[in-house]
Amino acid sequence: MNIAIAGGTGFVGRELINFYTNLGHQVYVLTRSPQKYTSSEQIKYVGWLYEGANPEKKLPLLDAIVNLAGESLNSGRWTEKRKQRILESRIQSTNSVISLMENIPDKPKVLINASAIGFYGTSESATFTEETTIPGDDFLAHVVNEWEKTARQASDLGVRVTLIRFGVILGDQGALPKMILPFQLFVGGKLGKGNQWISWIHIQDVVGIIHFAIENENISGPINATAPHPKRNHEFSKILSDILKRPYWIPAPSFALRLALGEMSELVLKGQYVLPKKAQKFGYVFQYDDLQTALSDIIE
């Protein structure tokens, strides 16, 4: 297969590139800075999202496009200016992917567009699946809803659109190293009251679900990329402390996190119980459906 990945130089993108090149497929990475990278026989870096870039002229007939592009949520306080950038980066990159598809004569069979379980809003008691169609009412839900609306426009081109709603991705990058650090410093514990749900997923299952969605022509619309057994924050933290063999004893008070992080504290103080109903319905088998096994694989 020929697969184009927008945002392919990030955490998920790099894992996806390794997966497909190991299978012998060709990967085309759409990036603002192609000069920073060295192309190989299987991986080509293609200029994108800057004046004069014409990626459509450098791409072969594509089987799929995976759009992972967008500014990170956790690289700084959510000022009003930064919140606008978070939203606009996702809309701009997705519109650019759609424009790219408009400019090539043979459309890819599928667009896999990144999304997030932030669509559902937060709750300590509700259960969310892909059948939940009404978005939440907070900032992240607004961002995800607008992002998905933009991606769905690709269906007007005859392209199947699948929206991968990522949970908390566990791997050697992303959120997990930040979760581990307090325990390594012997100050680990629950965050806030600890009752908030963490709908987690191992990075290998993220890649697995993306591949599953590309290959299964019957999958379209949203699909939750979360493991089948979410954990509350205090349970997650205790399992993490046991694996790291570090004490679990100093909780981080909610007021302190809000003071330090501002509105961004929602990422750690609020959560949602999200189940991968569609993935399981279509027969996806999780490599890691148990949190202790998943964390042990990454840490040990």
pLDDT at 268: 85
Tokens in use for 244? 């790291």
pLDDT at 252: 85
DSSP string spanning the chain? -EEEEETTTSHHHHHHHHHHHHTT-EEEEEES-GGGS---SSEEEEE-SSTT--GGGS----SEEEE-----SSSS---HHHHHHHHHHHHHHHHHHHHHHHTSSS--SEEEEEEEGGGG---SS-EE-TT--S--SSHHHHHHHHHHHHHHGGGGGT-EEEEEEE-EEESSSBTHHHHHHHHHTT----BTTS-SEE-EEEHHHHHHHHHHHHH-TT--EEEEE--SS-EEHHHHHHHHHHHHT------B-HHHHHHHHGGGGHHHH---EE--HHHHHTT---S--SHHHHHHHHH-
pLDDT at residue 144 tops 80: yes
pLDDT digits (tens, 9 = 90+) for 82-119: 999 999 999 999 999 999 999 999 999 999 999 999 99
pLDDT at residue 258 tops 90: no
pLDDT at 119: 97
Distance CA 124, CA 116 (A): 18
pLDDT digits (tens, 9 = 90+) for 260-280: 778 888 888 899 999 999 999
pLDDT at 259: 78
Instruction: Using only the alpha carbons of the chain, give its radius of gyration.
Output: 19
Average pLDDT, whole number, for the chain? 94
pLDDT at 51: 84
Q: How far is CA 252 from the centre of its chain?
A: 26
pLDDT digits (tens, 9 = 90+) for 207-256: 999 999 999 999 999 999 999 999 999 999 999 999 999 999 888 888 78
Distance CA 288, CA 228 (A): 9
pLDDT digits (tens, 9 = 90+) for 64-86: 999 999 998 887 788 999 999 99
Distance CA 78, CA 238 (A): 29
pLDDT at residue 294 tops 90: yes
Tell me the pTM.
0.95
Over residues 131-137, the mean pLDDT reads 95
> Domains in the chain and their CATH numbers?
2-299 (3.40.50.720)
| Most confident by average pLDDT, 41-55, 62-76, 160-174 | 160-174
Over residues 60-65, the mean pLDDT reads 96
pLDDT at residue 143 tops 90: yes
